[in-house]
Amino acid sequence: MGLDLATLLPVIGALIVAGGLIGLLAGLFGIGGGAISVPVFFELFRVLDYPEEVRMPMAVGTSLAVIIPTSLNSARGHFLKGTVDMDLLRLWAVPVVLGVLAGSVIARFADPVVFQLVFIAVAVTNAAKLLLGGAGWRLREGLPGRGVLLGYGGGIGVLSALMGIGGGAITNLLLTLHGYDIRRAISTAAGVGVLIALPGTIGYMAAGWGKPGLPADAVGYVSLLTFVLTIPTTLLTTRLGVKLAHTWSKRALETGFGLFLLTVCARFVWDILA
């Protein structure tokens, strides 16, 4: 579809602003930024009049691509603060990657609404826990055994691949349900994003390869032009987010993250019902 300058300029401006927000959130909440990039990219592809059946998979795949540099930058910042649980990341490395690859296979055949429903279910659960649960919501105090943790890793990988996120929202939920301090959970979640982003991006490139209706700049379900326009401001604001994460109070972090997730969910519910 041909686009005039009046259409292109707002799109470019929106991507630049979105990139800044993605980076800020990545550092602040230990997420890859997918919770904002997926809905932003979805709206962008709607404005560009891409076929409905490729909009959500492309939003997810492109989001995972953006998460690669974002999560690396965020994880580095938290690692330097000394709050990343490296033992847990090492244990999760293989099951998370396998889960991501499984999620990418599902993505090739799933109805687009499946992506939105998975996103809503996980995000609403997380938001409710953060805003209402306080210290009372616990599966147990302390992490479970190795077998259960390996299962957690695989589940994080599958759901993150379907949601187009770096696993931060899911990892935060699981760890805080086991009594983790919110700052330590956020920092470790940033590391999980590194495990998810690269295999997830490759998986979505493969899943969308040869699909009809894709734009000229797409490699499978990844829009290269969207990636290039978003990344510069993303990288500029990630370190600011990391700094704020270690400055804000625990309750402020929980409330901010919870409200943000509810806002995104409301947008997706509106889209499904419209």
- pLDDT-derived band of residue 30, with 50, 70 and 90 as boundaries? low
Q: Which residue has the higher pLDDT, 208 or 248?
A: 208
User: Is the distance from CB of 166 to CB of 68 less than 8 angstroms?
Assistant: no
Flag the least confident range among 111-120, 131-140, 155-164, 230-239: 131-140
Q: What is the pLDDT of residue 155?
A: 92
Which residues does 122 contact at the CB level (< 8 Å), separation at least 6? 159, 163, 169, 170, 173
Whether 271 has a pLDDT exceeding 80, the answer reads no
40-97 pLDDT per residue, tens = 788 888 888 889 889 888 998 998 898 888 788 878 888 888 888 899 999 999 999 9
Q: What is the rounded average pLDDT for all residues in the chain? A: 83
Q: What is the pLDDT of residue 205?
A: 94
Nearest to 221 by CA among 55, 40, 66: 55
Residue % of the chain over a pLDDT of 70: 92
Q: What is the pLDDT of residue 152?
A: 93
Number of H helices, E strands in the chain: 10, 2
177-195 pLDDT per residue, tens = 888 887 788 888 888 888 8
Q: Which two tokens stand for residue 198?
A: 């690269």
Sign (positive or negative) of CA dihedral 247, 249, 252, 256: positive
- The three-state secondary structure class of 140 is coil
Q: Which residue has the higher pLDDT, 219 or 9?
A: 219
Q: What is the pLDDT of residue 31?
A: 66
Nearest to 85 by CA among 153, 177, 184: 184
User: Is the distance from CB of 27 to CB of 256 less than 8 angstroms?
Assistant: no
- pLDDT-derived band of residue 133, with 50, 70 and 90 as boundaries? low
Q: What is the pLDDT of residue 220?
A: 93
Q: What is the pLDDT of residue 148?
A: 92
Q: What integer is the mean pLDDT of 106-120?
A: 78
Q: Which residue has the higher pLDDT, 140 or 219?
A: 219
- The three-state secondary structure class of 217 is coil
Nearest to 122 by CA among 242, 271, 268, 272: 268
Strand-strand pairing, 218-219 and 222-223: antiparallel
Q: What is the pLDDT of residue 201?
A: 92
Whether 1 has a pLDDT exceeding 60, the answer reads no
